[in-house]
A = this chain, B = another copy of it.
């Protein structure tokens, strides 16, 4: 079996010139690679108890429901504005030019619940740190921030330095 990083397809100049996009879809196409990724995510957690797994829209959803099932935890989608129908908390975060917003249902987490944050890629850490704030505003305790891919040169882990950060595939 290949290493996980061999399932990542590099797409030059996407979504814009000068950026090399890490395409995870070849990994998703391979059941063995998916299984290995889930196994490694769970190993990184060890025996830490998790009540809720938060996946960030929308590629964070791919593994977050799988992890929730394995951990016998609930799954919570964190979404773009206007997508969640019930009462939400919102957090703005900075983009290269301008701002964007993420939302969580206020009743998704109970005070003191142990939460695993998951997304596919850790880049600058903007969406992940906004999601950490959302989880904490709900009263959740973040056990780990878990990523499939980490672009270490963008130093996203620095913005998450108060949390345990793990990733399966690192680009330095």
Q: Which residues of A contact B (CB under 8 A)?
A: 9, 11, 14-15, 21, 23, 25, 28-31, 34-35, 38, 52, 57-59, 61-63, 65-66, 68-69, 72-77, 82, 84-86, 105, 108
10 smallest CB-CB distances across A and B, nearest first, come from A58-B58, A29-B74, A11-B85, A61-B61, A14-B85, A28-B75, A31-B72, A21-B85, A23-B85, A62-B65
Q: In the complex, what residue of chain B is closest to A32 when comparing beta carbons?
A: B72
CA gap between A89 and B80 in the complex, in Å = 26
How far, in angstroms, from A72 to B33 measured CA to CA in the complex?
A: 11
Measured between beta carbons, the chain B residues less than 8 angstroms from A25 are: 76-77, 84, 86, 105, 108
Selected A-B contacts with CB under 8 Å, 18 pairs: A9-B86, A23-B86, A25-B77, A25-B84, A25-B108, A28-B65, A28-B76, A29-B74, A29-B75, A31-B68, A31-B69, A31-B72, A34-B68, A35-B69, A58-B58, A61-B62, A65-B65, A66-B66
